[in-house]
Amino acid sequence: MTSSIAQSIVQIDGSFCEGGGQLLRNAVALSALLSKPISIFNVRQNRRPPGLRRQHEAGINLAASICSADTKGVEVDSTMIDFRPGPIQLPKTLSADPGTAGSTTLLLQIAFPCLLFSPSAHQAESESQEAPYHFGISPTLTVHRRGYYPKGGGSVLCTVPAIPGPLFPVVLTERGEVNCDPGECPPQRMVSDAHRTLVASGIPARKISITAVRERDQDVVGAGGGILLWAETDKGCLIAGSAVSIKEKKPKRVGEEAAKELVRNLSHGGCVDEYLQDQMIIFLALAQGTSIVKTGPLTDHTRTAIHIAQRMTGARFHLDENGPDSTTITCEGIGFTPSSR
């Protein structure tokens, strides 16, 4: 390796702020997308045990297959990895399987930014997209099978469309009024306790609608359940709360947890919840122009995502923390396109 190549490698301390898997996923995704080699040390230093788990290994290998990357240290328990990306070559069908009851959405988190852009996709002209709230992105996600802990075995298909140019910026500064609080969950005890908790928080019962859903036996692996609640506003915002059922947790507690999480995210008046807050940082950095998002208290995951996005892309972020419960994130994006690689 020549000294000029060595100097171009971005060195990243994996113990920064939240020091977990999100830092790893964001850094690798941007490395693949921007053709910037990275070395990450102290991988998942703030987790016990530290180092890569099988889900992280599968995610990095998925990103490597997207951009024909050379890797080093991508194995379980490793606390240092090297990722040297090559060209992204799409469209093609990709698959990843951590072999455990890990999160399919966390695998998607590392792959999705890479899949949005490729020279072939960029050249495919499509109709003008006018959906600034969604950055102009319209993916589809189909759940073929759910796999419950500890067996796993779920299957999800995500189809990512070609985009004709850089992502649109977003402006989310007014949440608006909550229209309704729909949700999906089994069994009935989760429904009743979630409903009771929402009403106790001050949400009118007439605005709450929860539907119980039971999957067919042939569509699941293992036994389990969960509850997803979300609030829709007249400004197009979605605020969510969720909880997963496990053997040691009573249905009553599952329903209460999801409802309390939703209420907590509604209480701060932001336009996104605590989980979407950090997930959108990569896309703010890549979008063209100025994005402004009002949210609740800034999470460590979001601070980490901003740190990595600034290091990797050069996008400029400004944080206006208006007290402990309100933050406005402003980002001047880089207007990334495949030709700017």
The reply to whether 301 belongs to the active site is yes
Burial of 307 (0-12, 13-18, 19+ CB in 10 A): buried
Residue 123 counted as an annotated binding residue: no
Residue 148 counted as an annotated binding residue: no
The residue annotated as part of the active site, out of 56, 195, 268, 301, is 301
The answer to whether residues 64 and 83 touch, using CB atoms and an 8 Å cutoff, is yes
How far apart CA 114 and CA 226 sit, in angstroms, is 30
How far apart CA 134 and CA 306 sit, in angstroms, is 19
Helix axes 251-267, 188-200, angle to 10 degrees: 30
Residue 275 counted as an annotated binding residue: yes
How far apart CA 238 and CA 182 sit, in angstroms, is 11
> What is the per-residue DSSP string for 51-87?
S--HHHHHHHHHHHHHHT-EEES-STT-SEEEEE---
Residue 229 counted as an annotated binding residue: no
Residue 108 counted as an annotated binding residue: no
Amino acid code (one letter) for 66: I
42, 44, 48, 51: CA torsion to nearest 10: -70
Residue 180, token pair as written in the block: 């309704």
> What is the per-residue DSSP string for 276-329?
HHHHTHHHHHHSEEEEEEEESSPPHHHHHHHHHHHHHH--EEEEEE-STT-EEE
Which positions are catalytic? 301
Residues placed in the known binding site for ATP: 109, 275-279
Q: Which residues are annotated as a binding site?
A: 109, 275-279
